[in-house]
């Protein structure tokens, strides 16, 4: 897994993703932060650094500025969707948008060209957010993560022999769980018998005072 949270610019994020792809293994993930800006100010593109945004904000020239800046990182994700149909790409709707990229068949995006993408701004993203960055909920992402317990392949696409092995594994876990409960019950019953035997021995003693004192001690510890 590789996490990208760099300069928050379209060009640099795109380079980071493309370079990372050269090292990504079959079931690897690329996580890209800041792919779902909430406002024009948050998505404001810069030429060099965030200080350009801060300067505009200080002069009250950036409407809607609240201190959060994501840049135009979202464009890099859309760019990759346009040129890489062999990649599964989506954005989780949490923490300013968490982009996820992995090897696998993706959802085609044919309604925009690379040239048009470079000219678009936040308002284009805002009007087509779900479609452009393939936005999904955190709950949908949890379902996606579950597929990794099967080697990165969704359960419905597994062959019959693999599904059978998974079934046997689940049965084994249930049996082991029942065995642990049974062992705990047997242990508890054994301790109960030991306590009853000890109390019976105390009753056989002649000294009532000694019996009463020891019973209190036993009850305190048990």
**Same domain for 116 and 44?**
yes
Domain boundary among 136, 158, 180: 158
**Same domain for 131 and 108?**
yes
Q: Report the C-alpha gap between 41 and 200 in whole angstroms.
A: 80
Q: What number of CA atoms fall less than 13 Å from residue 187's CA on the CB side?
A: 6
Residues 153-210 have pLDDT tens digits of 666 666 778 777 777 777 777 776 666 666 766 676 776 677 767 666 666 654 545 5
Nearest to 145 by CA among 80, 100, 192, 85: 100
Split into its structural domains, the chain has a count of 2
Give the chain's mean pLDDT: 83
Phi, psi of 191 (to 5 degrees): -65, -35
Alpha helices in 59-204 (DSSP H): 73-83, 114-119, 122-127, 129-132, 138-146, 160-203
Domain boundary among 158, 174, 197: 158
Pull the structure tokens for residue 184. 């705990």
**Same domain for 44 and 140?**
yes
Domain of residue 204: give its range.
Answer: 161-221
């Amino acid at each position: 897994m590789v996490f990208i949270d760099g300069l928050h610019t379209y060009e640099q994020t795109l380079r980071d993703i493309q370079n990372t792809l050269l090292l990504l293994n079959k079931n690897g993930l690329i996580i890209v932060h800041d792919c779902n800006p909430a406002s024009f100010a948050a998505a404001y593109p810069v030429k060099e650094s965030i200080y350009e945004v801060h300067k505009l904000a200080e002069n009250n020239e950036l409407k809607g500025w609240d201190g959060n800046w994501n840049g135009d990182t979202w464009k890099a994700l859309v760019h990759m969707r346009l040129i890489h149909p062999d990649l599964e790409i989506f954005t989780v709707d949490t923490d300013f948008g968490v982009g996820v990229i992995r090897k696998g068949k993706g959802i085609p995006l044919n309604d925009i060209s690379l040239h048009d993408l470079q000219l678009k701004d936040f308002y284009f993203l805002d009007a087509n957010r779900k479609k452009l960055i393939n936005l999904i909920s955190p709950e949908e992402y949890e379902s996606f993560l579950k597929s990794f317990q099967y080697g990165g392949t969704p359960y419905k696409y597994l062959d019959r022999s693999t599904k059978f092995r998974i079934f046997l594994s689940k049965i084994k876990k249930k049996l082991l769980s029942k065995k642990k409960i049974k062992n705990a019950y047997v242990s508890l019953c054994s301790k109960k018998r030991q306590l009853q035997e000890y109390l019976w021995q105390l009753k056989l003693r002649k000294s009532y005072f000694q019996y009463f004192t020891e019973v209190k001690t036993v009850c305190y510890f048990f």
